[in-house]
Chain A
Amino acid sequence: MLLCKTILAMALFLAATPSWSKVFIRWTEPSVPPATSLGGDELVVPLQAKGLIANAREAGYKVYVEVPISKSTSSIRAAVAGNVEGIFLDPGEAKQTQITHALAELRVAFPGLTVRVVDFRGQQPELKGQLVTTRNGILQVSSATAQPWISSNLALIRFDQVLDRGRVPLYSFKWNPPESSQPDQGPEAADYRLAVAEAGAFHADLMLSLHQELQKGLWQKNPAAWATFAEIKRAMTFSAHAADGVGKQDANVGIVIGDYESTYEPVNLLARHNIPFRMLRTPDLKTAAIENLDILVFLSSANKEAALVIENFASNGGVVILIDSHGPYPWRFDNPSGQQQVAHKIGRGQIIQLGDPSGDPDSFAQDVRRLIDNSKISISLWNALTTVAVSYRKTDSSEKLVELINYAQEPLSVQVQVKGLFSSIRFESPENGCCTSVAGVQHEGYTEFVIPALTVAGRVHLSQRNASVPQTMKDR
């Protein structure tokens, strides 16, 4: 009986999963403006805010409650009293097995509700400087790097996607405290826009906390607050629609994940240098799954089967980078002097055993990039130190979609090179809608083009001429 209920709950959950990217506004102030004026009809509120749940329902919202994992189903039932659409679980410090158990329990207890887990390990997307300040004025430098440091959620999103078998993940983050001793007025409109755009570009759902000052401004009908929210809404509209039939992300590098802590940093380094990657779990490491990749970065311990797949991959010309990875490997490394890096030729490829990749944060990604054959790289960017781009293939067609995020949040002319020959290049942005034709040049199997002004978010549709742009976007 429990199994049947669980399956039913899972089916309902899957049916409720949005198709591309959705932003859930998190609200904490006791009063809330009418849903018709806010322009969306879904709101996330804390479980304990009983009055707010009632107010939000009255104002016309579908209400989701944010519930700590420690709450019992009976206390949740008492609090929601049938007034909510769904439950967003805050897992706190719980282990994966505990989270899975809690989700199953909630889905059985509340079969009619959407139940999702929120990954709170997100960070405010931003371009970081070198200096870090705290409110008492102490300064220190962040990771020293020659290239601008980007705080991105791409690594987190891809990690969650691979763990949850490709489902759209839901994450959240806390806004950074102000970097001045001035009173905290909360994030600027541009910061909200970037957060929303990032979730959209990387195909994830975001629970977005509105700063208290903005919430107050909205229900007090402050024009400045409403102007800010209008910008957030425009970004939400843009992010919600990508295109029909967008499939997998292009990748040259496969990353076999370990635990989150060991996986995050190397992947983050690759992400901000625009090295096209996708993640794999060790059990998914089959020859067919990696045959189109050029490099395999192994962040986990390998079992016997995985070791054989790795060896086979290298024999066929691939490069395998083992980062602090141990396993029953059939090859042996001689490293009498305890060097940081040891390379081992196997067939047409090689296996490189590496200690810690984070010595120089720029070097690791640049070194990986140098190992990828220039005729194979799926996407390259120039004049784009602050931009992260992801190219997606469309299913059942040769069309591509490139999503770009500029963390500098100021117009930037970005040169892009995408593998494949495309005669139609169309660019859309939240500011200018869809779509402007962009001139391209084709050579040696690649299409090159320049986006004249990428402000925060941009989307490029690449196809052969006459391919249609989805109607929903044409209309915007």
Chain B
Amino acid sequence: MLAGLICLVLTSTSFSSLANSFVHKKKYLMGTVFDIVAYGESLPKVSDAIDRAFEEMARLDDVMSDYKADSALSRLNRSAHFQAQTVPPDLYRVIEESLKYSRLSAGKFDISVGPVVNLWKAAVRGQAAAPSAAELNKLRHCVGYQNIKLLPPDKVEFASPCLQIDLGAIGKGYALDRAVQVLRSQGVFNALLDAGGSSIYAMGKPPGQSAWTLKLSDPSKKLRPKVMLLDSSVSTSEQTPHSGLGKNSPGHIIDPEGGVPLQTAFDVSVVAKTATASDALSTTMLLMGPERGAQLINQMPETAAIWVSSNGESKLASSGPQILIANRVPSLTETKSKP
């Protein structure tokens, strides 16, 4: 679901012994490459901690994947229609979190959009024409987060005969947060965790620095937004870009309201305390757009977002975290939450 890009992560470290004591590992999970760079005095210990974090993410992939037929999510998607099913705690938790963002965004974030996304997949890849209105209409009643019923502590039921959950817009963020917990439990406190560039969690800070500095997506190449992160996360979302060869993709981010690909000129980056939040909110903010999105950001604690278009138009909203912009342009608008 997410294809946003965070352009650059950098930290120019001082050359202390700690700066030189880091381990960098990567692993292919959830359809992308996860990178973890962690600092620590005992390199074998750091290396072992990263391995454990990857193991945790692989375990979560087995729970949340909609590609794997035997994942807990796939089983739920097959069997929870009008029938409550017991799910693993992580799946329950991530669905619970998802529904929170669905309510906050009045349905713009909706993990039940899966059937419609699947219908568009071939068209997005250029392997089929766009689905017809009739095909889309047939599936409209399958979409609706209100039809996902949580029965505490561990049961989920779908009040629809064709509802399917797709966690593509939140799963990687959730996995990052769990990996952070694993690293902390293993005594690692300074690390950067990257889920394929679309979501990054910055743990602690790199040696000799006060925070991790990240440059954010900027299709205009004019604003050069950046953020300093300390135990927080940033995620970026963008719609599939227009073709350079004239045959455009409809776009991979589908608006649950109309069931059609989103039309937007913006990329959006969201800063939040957890990767689950930044991941879910970046898709949400892209779908809500800068005006409505900024209002929501201002109501949420410790959150910031920036929308940037290729012609340099931008909007910034924050209830705490600072997103810095190198070159301010006249079209820039900014909203701040009330103190």
Contact = CB atoms under 8 A, between A and B. Distances in A.
B82 interface: no
B8 interface: yes
Contact of B24 (A133, A354, A357, A369): A133
Interface string A354-373: 10010110011011111100
Instruction: Determine the main DSSP class of B at the interface with A.
Output: loop
B197 A144 contact: yes
A133 B20 CA distance: 11
Contacts of B47: 180, 182
B197 A133 contact: no
Interface string B2-20: 0111111111110100011
Interface in B7-45: 7-13, 15, 19-26, 28, 31-35, 37, 39, 43
Interface string B241-258: 101111101000000000
B33 A128 contact: yes
A321 B126 contact: no
B246 A129 contact: no
B32 A148 contact: yes
A178 B128 CA distance: 44
B7 A367 contact: no
B141 interface: no
B246 A139 contact: no
B226 to A, nearest CB: 13
A146 interface: yes
A138 B13 contact: yes
A374 interface: yes
B245 A368 contact: yes
Given A133-B22, A180-B22, A139 B37 contact: yes
Nearest to B208: A137
A131 B35 contact: yes
Nearest to A410: B28
A370 B241 contact: no
Contacts of B292: none
Contacts of B245: 321, 341, 352, 354, 367-368, 370-371
A374 B6 CA distance: 33
A133 B12 CA distance: 11
B298 interface: no
A139 B26 contact: no
A386 B194 CA distance: 18
B196 interface: yes
Nearest to A146: B3
A12 interface: no
B192 interface: yes
Contact of A139 (B10, B126, B196, B247): B10
A138 to B, nearest CB: 6
Interface residues of B, number: 49
A383 B125 CA distance: 13
Given A137-B207, A138-B13, A408-B28, A129 B194 contact: yes
B331 interface: no
Contacts of B15: 136-137
Contact of A140 (B10, B198, B206): B10
Contact of A364 (B23, B39, B244): B244
A383 B197 contact: no
Contacts of A374: 126-128
A385 interface: yes
Nearest to B200: A130
A416 to B, nearest CB: 14
A127 interface: yes
Contacts of A367: 243-245, 247
B20 A135 contact: yes
Interface string A135-174: 1111111001110110000000000000000000000000
Interface in B139-192: 192
Nearest to B247: A370
Nearest to B4: A146
A343 interface: yes
B192 to A, nearest CB: 7
6 contacts: A131-B24, A139-B11, A146-B3, A148-B196, A369-B125, A374-B128
Interface of B: 3-13, 15, 19-26, 28, 31-35, 37, 39, 43, 47, 67, 125-128, 192, 194, 196-198, 206-207, 241, 243-247, 249
Interface of A: 127-131, 133, 135-141, 144-146, 148-149, 179-182, 321, 340-341, 343, 352, 354, 357, 359-360, 363-364, 366-371, 374, 380, 383, 385-386, 408, 410
Given A133-B37, A354-B245, A380-B127, 6 more contacts: A131-B26, A136-B20, A139-B37, A141-B10, A182-B23, A374-B128
10 closest cross-chain pairs (CB), A and B: A370-B126, A129-B35, A129-B26, A408-B28, A146-B3, A179-B24, A367-B245, A131-B35, A144-B5, A367-B243
